[in-house]
Amino acid sequence: MEILKSQRLNNLRYDIRGPVYEKSLELESQGYKIINLNIGNPAPFGFDAPDEIVHDIILNIRNAQGYADSRGLFAARKAVMHYTQTLNLPGITINDIFIGNGVSELILLSMQALINEGDEVLVPAPDYPLWTTSVALSGGKPVHYVCDEAAGWNPDLADLERKITKKTRALVVINPNNPTGAVYDKAVLEGIAQIAERHSLIVFTDEIYDKILYDGAQHHPMARFVHDTLCITMGGLSKNYRAAGFRGGWLILSGARAKAKSYIEGLTLMASLRLCANVPTQYAIQTALGGYQSIQDLVHPSGRLYKQIMLAHERLTAMPGITCTKPKGALYVFPKIDLSQFRFKDDNEFVYDLLAEQKVLVVAGQGFNYPQPDHFRVVCLPTVDELNVALDRIEAFLVSRHIG
């Protein structure tokens, strides 16, 4: 008899490493060189983690042989606590902080600790797809609210509020946003906080790109606006500190913790069931947060990351049938294809054919739960020279399929 996967996995996807990625591995095994613009993984593109972080892990490796407290090492949690003070988030104590194996693990833990069968969670569309899958994996129902491209990809508050039902438990905010590159306006964040408080919804806010900001964009931590309901902020080492492989992240509880005693108990149980986050990396968190913030050099107009993002935006915007909202943060551009101008039917066909013909791998907008099949995401981590080669190929593909 065939061994079937859990029914909870039916219809779940993670296209960033999904079927089209498998196809690219197959092409590589046949000897083709693929330009991979699918994963936001800085190190392989020459974005090294700060030396002081690497040194700290090496120096402390002998001290890191045993399990740590499930919530995390004292020094790491204190460093995150101190970080909240620099962000003007008062009243957060070490007990409000959990360390995890990346934000990914904390997203899964925090959903599993919350959701009962059939509970609904409002997730942005487009989203970083782990948020949708983690709700579904926990037995909940992800309900997508729209982010409006015409409004710089800010969340549509009317749509968000319209989708609240008796079963809604929480809402998710991703700011700065993956895949759109949006950094949300203060008024929009205040509006989301008011809606959450009015309907007693927990606010999950994924701020893993909070230091990757361009052209003076201002990031407002959601926790500043949420007081009468629970707010859960996530951050980590993977992007701001280019240390994705070290798997280090944190979760910060703020707002109405007194109303959430049982949930926090659940979260603590979930953390203890996985014993602890990997310990060597925890030693680096204090150094990362308290050290030289070299990400600022990379996002400055003279910095490598800035130049790459702007190049991708400028060149894609100039291509036939493509429009692209300028990113204010994160590592990506999320252009729109005017499908009426091309001989392919949707974003998925575009992505497969681009890979087959030009050996460039990007991710279709539908992989981010975007309902319209007409966007794709480009990771802007390769050097300007490599990115130009990839963009030349995308352009050649678009021109070859352009009608008229």
Q: What is the C-alpha separation between 54 and 49, in angstroms, rounded?
A: 7
Whether residue 397 contacts residue 354, with contact meaning beta carbons closer than 8 Å, is answered with: yes
Tokens standing for residue 288: 């990362």
Whether residue 325 contacts residue 149, with contact meaning beta carbons closer than 8 Å, is answered with: yes
Q: Is 236 in the site for ligand PLP (CB under 6 A)?
A: yes
Q: Is 103 in the site for ligand PLP (CB under 6 A)?
A: yes
Q: Is 181 in the site for ligand PLP (CB under 6 A)?
A: no
Q: What is the C-alpha separation between 118 and 290, in angstroms, rounded?
A: 42
Q: Count of alpha carbons within 13 Å of 218, Cβ hemisphere only?
A: 7
**Cβ nearer to ligand PLP, comparing 39 with 75:** 39
Binding mask 37-66 for ligand PLP (x = CB under 6 A): ---x--------------------------
Q: What is the C-alpha separation between 128 and 332, in angstroms, rounded?
A: 12
Site stretch for ligand PLP (CB under 6 A), options 45-53, 63-71, 99-107, 161-169: 99-107
**Cβ nearer to ligand PLP, comparing 223 with 398:** 223
Q: How far is the CB of 123 from ligand PLP (least distance, A)?
A: 12
Q: How far is the CB of 343 from ligand PLP (least distance, A)?
A: 32
Residues whose CB is less than 8 angstroms from the CB of residue 228 and which lie 6 or more positions away in sequence, other chains included:
197, 255, 256
**Cβ nearer to ligand PLP, comparing 107 with 310:** 107
Q: How far is the CB of 318 from ligand PLP (least distance, A)?
A: 27
Residues whose CB is less than 8 angstroms from the CB of residue 265 and which lie 6 or more positions away in sequence, other chains included:
none
Q: Is 193 in the site for ligand PLP (CB under 6 A)?
A: no
**Cβ nearer to ligand PLP, comparing 142 with 249:** 249
Q: What is the C-alpha separation between 144 and 365, in angstroms, rounded?
A: 14
Tokens standing for residue 100: 């995890």
Q: Is 223 in the site for ligand PLP (CB under 6 A)?
A: no
Closest CA to 9 of 139, 174, 187: 139
Q: How far is the CB of 178 from ligand PLP (least distance, A)?
A: 4
Answer for which of 175, 180, 238, 348 binds ligand PLP (CB under 6 A) is 238
DSSP 8-state secondary structure symbol assigned to residue 388: H
CA dist list (Å): 383 to 120, 304, 396: 41, 8, 20
- Site residue total, ligand PLP (CB under 6 A): 13
**128: how many CB neighbours lie within 10 A of its CB?**
23
Answer for which of 80, 122, 189, 244 binds ligand PLP (CB under 6 A) is 244
Answer for which of 178, 205, 254, 358 binds ligand PLP (CB under 6 A) is 178
Q: How far is the CB of 242 from ligand PLP (least distance, A)?
A: 11
Q: Is 135 in the site for ligand PLP (CB under 6 A)?
A: no
Q: How far is the CB of 179 from ligand PLP (least distance, A)?
A: 8
Phi, psi of 373 (to 5 degrees): -85, 50
Q: According to CB under 6 A, which residues from 345 to 364 bind ligand PLP?
A: none
Tokens standing for residue 110: 């925090």
Q: According to CB under 6 A, which residues from 199 to 218 bind ligand PLP?
A: 206, 208
Q: How far is the CB of 147 from ligand PLP (least distance, A)?
A: 13
Q: Is 104 in the site for ligand PLP (CB under 6 A)?
A: yes
Q: What is the C-alpha separation between 230 and 20, in angstroms, rounded?
A: 38
**What is the secondary structure of 278-335 as a DSSP string?**
-HHHHHHHHHHHHS--THHHHHSTTSHHHHHHHHHHHHHHTSTTEE-PPPSBSSEE--
**Cβ nearer to ligand PLP, comparing 174 with 391:** 174
Q: According to CB under 6 A, which residues from 148 to 177 bind ligand PLP?
A: 174
- Which residue, judged by CB position, is nearest to ligand PLP in the bound state? 102
Site stretch for ligand PLP (CB under 6 A), options 102-110, 222-230, 313-321, 335-343: 102-110
**What is the secondary structure of 39-55 as a DSSP string?**
----GGGT-PPPHHHHH
Site stretch for ligand PLP (CB under 6 A), options 19-27, 98-106, 148-156, 225-233: 98-106
Task: Give me the residues that bind ligand PLP (CB under 6 A), please.
Answer: 40, 102-104, 128, 174, 178, 206, 208, 236, 238, 244, 249
